[in-house]
Amino acid sequence: MRLKNKVALITGGASAVQSELMGFGGAAAWIFAREGAKVVLCDIKEDIGRRSETQLREHGYDALFIPLDVRDEEQWKRVIAQTVKTYGKLNVLVNNAGMGYVEKIENMTVQQWDHEMDVHVKGAFLGTKHAIPEMRKAGGGSIVNVSSIWGIVGSEGGPAYHAAKGAVRIFSKAAAIQYAKDNIRVNSIHPGGAWTPMTEKSLTPERRATFIAKVPMGRLGTVEEIANGILFLASDESSYVTGAELVIDGGLLAQ
Protein backbone atom coordinates (compact mmCIF):
# COMPACT_ATOMS: atom_id res chain seq x y z
CA MET A 1 0.00 0.00 0.00
CA ARG A 2 2.61 2.50 -1.13
CA LEU A 3 0.04 5.26 -1.69
CA LYS A 4 -2.22 4.55 1.27
CA ASN A 5 -4.36 7.58 2.21
CA LYS A 6 -2.98 9.64 -0.67
CA VAL A 7 -5.07 11.50 -3.26
CA ALA A 8 -3.67 11.34 -6.79
CA LEU A 9 -4.78 13.30 -9.85
CA ILE A 10 -3.82 11.89 -13.27
CA THR A 11 -4.29 13.83 -16.50
CA GLY A 12 -4.72 11.88 -19.71
CA GLY A 13 -6.12 9.20 -17.43
CA ALA A 14 -9.31 8.25 -19.27
CA SER A 15 -7.91 5.12 -20.96
CA ALA A 16 -8.23 2.82 -17.95
CA VAL A 17 -10.81 0.31 -19.22
CA GLN A 18 -9.29 -3.11 -18.66
CA SER A 19 -10.81 -4.73 -21.74
CA GLU A 20 -9.28 -2.05 -24.00
CA LEU A 21 -5.78 -0.80 -24.82
CA MET A 22 -4.64 1.43 -21.96
CA GLY A 23 -2.41 4.46 -21.94
CA PHE A 24 0.18 5.31 -19.28
CA GLY A 25 -2.40 7.27 -17.29
CA GLY A 26 -4.91 4.45 -17.31
CA ALA A 27 -2.35 1.88 -16.20
CA ALA A 28 -1.15 4.24 -13.48
CA ALA A 29 -4.73 4.67 -12.26
CA TRP A 30 -5.08 0.94 -11.60
CA ILE A 31 -1.68 0.61 -9.97
CA PHE A 32 -2.27 3.70 -7.81
CA ALA A 33 -5.67 2.37 -6.74
CA ARG A 34 -4.24 -1.03 -5.82
CA GLU A 35 -1.61 0.77 -3.76
CA GLY A 36 -4.26 2.56 -1.71
CA ALA A 37 -4.70 5.91 -3.46
CA LYS A 38 -7.92 7.75 -4.14
CA VAL A 39 -7.63 8.40 -7.87
CA VAL A 40 -8.94 11.37 -9.85
CA LEU A 41 -8.93 10.75 -13.59
CA CYS A 42 -8.92 13.81 -15.85
CA ASP A 43 -9.21 13.88 -19.63
CA ILE A 44 -11.05 15.43 -22.56
CA LYS A 45 -12.37 11.96 -23.46
CA GLU A 46 -15.44 11.93 -21.26
CA ASP A 47 -17.09 8.72 -22.47
CA ILE A 48 -14.15 6.43 -21.81
CA GLY A 49 -13.31 8.40 -18.67
CA ARG A 50 -16.74 7.64 -17.21
CA ARG A 51 -16.39 3.98 -18.12
CA SER A 52 -12.96 3.86 -16.47
CA GLU A 53 -14.34 5.48 -13.32
CA THR A 54 -17.20 2.94 -13.20
CA GLN A 55 -14.89 -0.02 -13.68
CA LEU A 56 -12.48 1.10 -10.98
CA ARG A 57 -15.38 1.58 -8.56
CA GLU A 58 -16.82 -1.83 -9.43
CA HIS A 59 -13.49 -3.30 -8.33
CA GLY A 60 -13.82 -1.56 -4.97
CA TYR A 61 -11.54 1.39 -5.58
CA ASP A 62 -12.22 5.05 -4.84
CA ALA A 63 -12.10 6.80 -8.21
CA LEU A 64 -13.53 9.97 -9.70
CA PHE A 65 -13.55 11.20 -13.30
CA ILE A 66 -13.54 14.96 -14.00
CA PRO A 67 -13.44 16.32 -17.58
CA LEU A 68 -10.40 18.51 -18.17
CA ASP A 69 -8.73 20.26 -21.07
CA VAL A 70 -5.24 20.79 -19.64
CA ARG A 71 -4.78 23.94 -21.76
CA ASP A 72 -7.53 25.79 -19.88
CA GLU A 73 -6.55 27.45 -16.58
CA GLU A 74 -10.13 27.94 -15.40
CA GLN A 75 -10.81 24.24 -15.86
CA TRP A 76 -7.69 23.43 -13.82
CA LYS A 77 -8.95 25.64 -10.99
CA ARG A 78 -12.29 23.81 -10.99
CA VAL A 79 -10.68 20.37 -11.11
CA ILE A 80 -8.33 21.07 -8.21
CA ALA A 81 -11.17 22.58 -6.18
CA GLN A 82 -13.45 19.60 -6.86
CA THR A 83 -10.67 17.17 -5.94
CA VAL A 84 -10.05 18.87 -2.62
CA LYS A 85 -13.77 19.24 -1.92
CA THR A 86 -14.29 15.51 -2.54
CA TYR A 87 -11.21 14.07 -0.86
CA GLY A 88 -9.93 16.87 1.38
CA LYS A 89 -6.44 17.19 -0.08
CA LEU A 90 -4.09 16.56 -3.01
CA ASN A 91 -0.84 14.62 -2.62
CA VAL A 92 0.14 13.47 -6.11
CA LEU A 93 -0.17 14.99 -9.57
CA VAL A 94 0.73 13.11 -12.75
CA ASN A 95 0.87 15.41 -15.76
CA ASN A 96 0.40 12.75 -18.42
CA ALA A 97 -1.91 14.28 -21.03
CA GLY A 98 -0.31 14.19 -24.45
CA MET A 99 -0.62 13.93 -28.21
CA GLY A 100 1.62 14.27 -31.24
CA TYR A 101 1.92 15.16 -34.90
CA VAL A 102 4.37 13.22 -37.07
CA GLU A 103 5.47 15.93 -39.50
CA LYS A 104 8.66 17.28 -40.99
CA ILE A 105 9.50 20.80 -39.81
CA GLU A 106 8.79 22.38 -43.19
CA ASN A 107 5.36 20.72 -43.34
CA MET A 108 4.26 21.52 -39.79
CA THR A 109 1.71 24.28 -39.32
CA VAL A 110 1.86 26.91 -36.61
CA GLN A 111 -1.45 25.56 -35.32
CA GLN A 112 0.02 22.06 -34.91
CA TRP A 113 3.10 23.45 -33.18
CA ASP A 114 1.02 25.54 -30.78
CA HIS A 115 -1.33 22.64 -30.06
CA GLU A 116 1.51 20.38 -28.93
CA MET A 117 3.14 23.10 -26.85
CA ASP A 118 -0.18 23.89 -25.20
CA VAL A 119 -1.03 20.29 -24.30
CA HIS A 120 2.40 19.20 -23.10
CA VAL A 121 4.08 22.31 -21.76
CA LYS A 122 1.23 24.61 -20.77
CA GLY A 123 -0.65 21.60 -19.39
CA ALA A 124 2.26 20.64 -17.11
CA PHE A 125 2.76 24.28 -16.08
CA LEU A 126 -0.91 24.86 -15.20
CA GLY A 127 -1.23 21.58 -13.35
CA THR A 128 1.89 22.26 -11.32
CA LYS A 129 0.89 25.87 -10.64
CA HIS A 130 -2.49 24.98 -9.19
CA ALA A 131 -1.45 21.77 -7.42
CA ILE A 132 1.35 23.40 -5.43
CA PRO A 133 -0.81 25.44 -2.99
CA GLU A 134 -2.85 22.35 -2.06
CA MET A 135 0.26 20.18 -1.72
CA ARG A 136 1.78 22.79 0.53
CA LYS A 137 -1.32 22.62 2.74
CA ALA A 138 -0.96 18.82 2.82
CA GLY A 139 2.65 19.09 4.02
CA GLY A 140 4.20 18.21 0.67
CA GLY A 141 3.57 16.13 -2.40
CA SER A 142 4.91 14.60 -5.57
CA ILE A 143 4.49 15.83 -9.14
CA VAL A 144 5.41 13.44 -11.95
CA ASN A 145 5.65 14.97 -15.41
CA VAL A 146 5.50 12.45 -18.23
CA SER A 147 8.12 13.44 -20.78
CA SER A 148 9.73 10.99 -23.21
CA ILE A 149 13.08 9.72 -24.41
CA TRP A 150 12.38 12.16 -27.26
CA GLY A 151 12.68 14.95 -24.70
CA ILE A 152 16.36 13.97 -24.33
CA VAL A 153 17.47 13.01 -27.84
CA GLY A 154 16.27 13.71 -31.36
CA SER A 155 14.76 11.47 -34.02
CA GLU A 156 13.03 11.68 -37.37
CA GLY A 157 9.70 12.03 -35.57
CA GLY A 158 7.63 15.13 -34.90
CA PRO A 159 9.75 18.22 -34.06
CA ALA A 160 7.09 19.83 -31.87
CA TYR A 161 6.85 16.64 -29.80
CA HIS A 162 10.62 16.71 -29.19
CA ALA A 163 10.57 20.40 -28.30
CA ALA A 164 7.58 20.05 -25.98
CA LYS A 165 8.89 16.98 -24.16
CA GLY A 166 12.29 18.64 -23.78
CA ALA A 167 10.59 21.66 -22.25
CA VAL A 168 8.71 19.44 -19.80
CA ARG A 169 12.02 17.87 -18.77
CA ILE A 170 13.69 21.18 -17.92
CA PHE A 171 10.54 22.70 -16.43
CA SER A 172 10.46 19.78 -13.99
CA LYS A 173 13.98 20.55 -12.79
CA ALA A 174 13.21 24.25 -12.30
CA ALA A 175 10.04 23.45 -10.35
CA ALA A 176 11.90 20.89 -8.23
CA ILE A 177 14.44 23.49 -7.13
CA GLN A 178 11.83 26.16 -6.42
CA TYR A 179 9.65 23.94 -4.21
CA ALA A 180 12.08 21.53 -2.55
CA LYS A 181 11.82 23.44 0.74
CA ASP A 182 8.05 22.92 0.66
CA ASN A 183 8.61 19.16 0.53
CA ILE A 184 7.11 19.12 -2.97
CA ARG A 185 9.09 16.87 -5.27
CA VAL A 186 8.97 17.25 -9.05
CA ASN A 187 10.42 14.65 -11.39
CA SER A 188 10.09 13.66 -15.03
CA ILE A 189 9.69 10.21 -16.48
CA HIS A 190 10.94 9.33 -19.95
CA PRO A 191 9.28 6.31 -21.56
CA GLY A 192 10.68 4.71 -24.68
CA GLY A 193 8.46 2.89 -27.13
CA ALA A 194 5.37 1.28 -25.61
CA TRP A 195 2.09 0.06 -27.06
CA THR A 196 -0.56 2.67 -26.21
CA PRO A 197 -3.61 4.18 -27.93
CA MET A 198 -1.32 6.93 -29.27
CA THR A 199 1.41 4.65 -30.65
CA GLU A 200 -1.19 2.28 -32.05
CA LYS A 201 -2.08 5.09 -34.46
CA SER A 202 1.46 6.28 -35.24
CA LEU A 203 3.54 3.09 -35.32
CA THR A 204 2.93 1.25 -38.57
CA PRO A 205 4.15 -2.40 -38.59
CA GLU A 206 7.24 -1.29 -40.53
CA ARG A 207 8.06 1.59 -38.17
CA ARG A 208 7.42 -0.65 -35.18
CA ALA A 209 9.86 -3.30 -36.43
CA THR A 210 12.49 -0.66 -37.20
CA PHE A 211 12.15 0.83 -33.72
CA ILE A 212 12.30 -2.52 -31.92
CA ALA A 213 15.47 -3.41 -33.83
CA LYS A 214 17.19 -0.46 -32.12
CA VAL A 215 16.14 -1.48 -28.58
CA PRO A 216 18.73 -3.66 -26.78
CA MET A 217 15.96 -5.58 -24.99
CA GLY A 218 14.36 -6.28 -28.36
CA ARG A 219 10.78 -5.28 -27.58
CA LEU A 220 8.43 -2.44 -26.77
CA GLY A 221 7.68 -1.64 -23.16
CA THR A 222 4.31 -2.21 -21.54
CA VAL A 223 2.16 0.51 -20.03
CA GLU A 224 2.43 -1.30 -16.69
CA GLU A 225 6.22 -1.04 -16.78
CA ILE A 226 5.98 2.71 -17.32
CA ALA A 227 3.27 3.06 -14.67
CA ASN A 228 5.44 1.28 -12.12
CA GLY A 229 8.07 3.96 -12.66
CA ILE A 230 5.44 6.64 -12.14
CA LEU A 231 4.39 4.85 -8.94
CA PHE A 232 7.94 4.93 -7.60
CA LEU A 233 8.24 8.69 -8.17
CA ALA A 234 4.77 9.30 -6.71
CA SER A 235 5.38 7.28 -3.56
CA ASP A 236 7.42 8.04 -0.46
CA GLU A 237 9.93 5.42 -1.60
CA SER A 238 11.45 8.20 -3.72
CA SER A 239 11.39 10.73 -0.85
CA TYR A 240 14.94 11.95 -1.63
CA VAL A 241 14.42 12.12 -5.38
CA THR A 242 13.56 15.46 -6.97
CA GLY A 243 14.61 17.16 -10.19
CA ALA A 244 15.49 13.76 -11.60
CA GLU A 245 14.60 12.06 -14.86
CA LEU A 246 13.70 8.38 -14.93
CA VAL A 247 14.30 6.74 -18.31
CA ILE A 248 12.38 3.51 -19.01
CA ASP A 249 13.31 2.47 -22.52
CA GLY A 250 14.77 -1.03 -22.67
CA GLY A 251 18.29 0.39 -22.93
CA LEU A 252 17.76 2.49 -26.06
CA LEU A 253 19.44 5.65 -24.75
CA ALA A 254 22.33 3.70 -23.23
CA GLN A 255 23.80 3.21 -26.69
Residue numbers annotated as active site? 161
Where in the chain does DSSP place strands (E)? 7-11, 38-43, 63-67, 92-95, 141-146, 184-191, 245-248
User: Which segments of 88-138 does DSSP mark as H helices, in order?
Assistant: 110-116, 123-137
CA distance 213 to 207: 10
Q: CB count, 10 Å around CB of 136?
A: 14
Give, to the nearest 10 degrees, the angle between helix 123-137 and helix 159-179.
20
Which residues are bridge partners to 65 per DSSP? 41
DSSP for 65-92 reads EEE--TT-HHHHHHHHHHHHHHHS---E
Helix (H, G, I), strand (E, B) or coil at 191: strand
